[in-house]
Structure 1
C-alpha cells in the first residue's frame, strides 16, 4: 500500500485514520472496528463492503 495514499485516506463513516493490515490486505478503522478490503491494489471504501471486526479480534497497533 502506497504510504502517500494511506496518509490521505480516512474512514468514510467516522473520518478517522485508517491502518493498513498487510497480512489481510485490509484498511482497518479502529474506532468503528471495520475492515475495508483492498482489491487489485484499490481500497474499496464502501460501508457495505466493509467487514465488521469480531469483538475478540485483535486490532493491531502497528
Structure 2
C-alpha cells in the first residue's frame, strides 16, 4: 500500500495529470491517457515505456 503523501504528489509522466490508486490491483491509473502503471515491490514504475493500456468496458485490452 502506498502512503497518502506519496499519492498526493505523484502525477502521470506523460500528461502530468492525476493518478488514481487501485489498491486491489496495486496499480496507478491515468484516466486521461487511458493507461496504468504497475507498482512493483512497493515502488511505482512511472516510465512511459512501461505503461499498459486500460481494458475497455467490454473487457478488451
TM-score normalised by L of structure 1: 0.86
Structure of greater Rg? 2
Task: Give the unaligned 5+ runs of structure 1.
Answer: none
Task: Trace 1:1-62 onto structure 2 (pairs within 5 A).
Answer: 1-56=2-57
TM-score, normalization by structure 2: 0.87
Q: How many pairs does the alignment contain?
A: 58
Gapped runs of 5+ residues in structure 2? none
Q: Which runs of 4+ in 1 moved over 2 A?
A: none
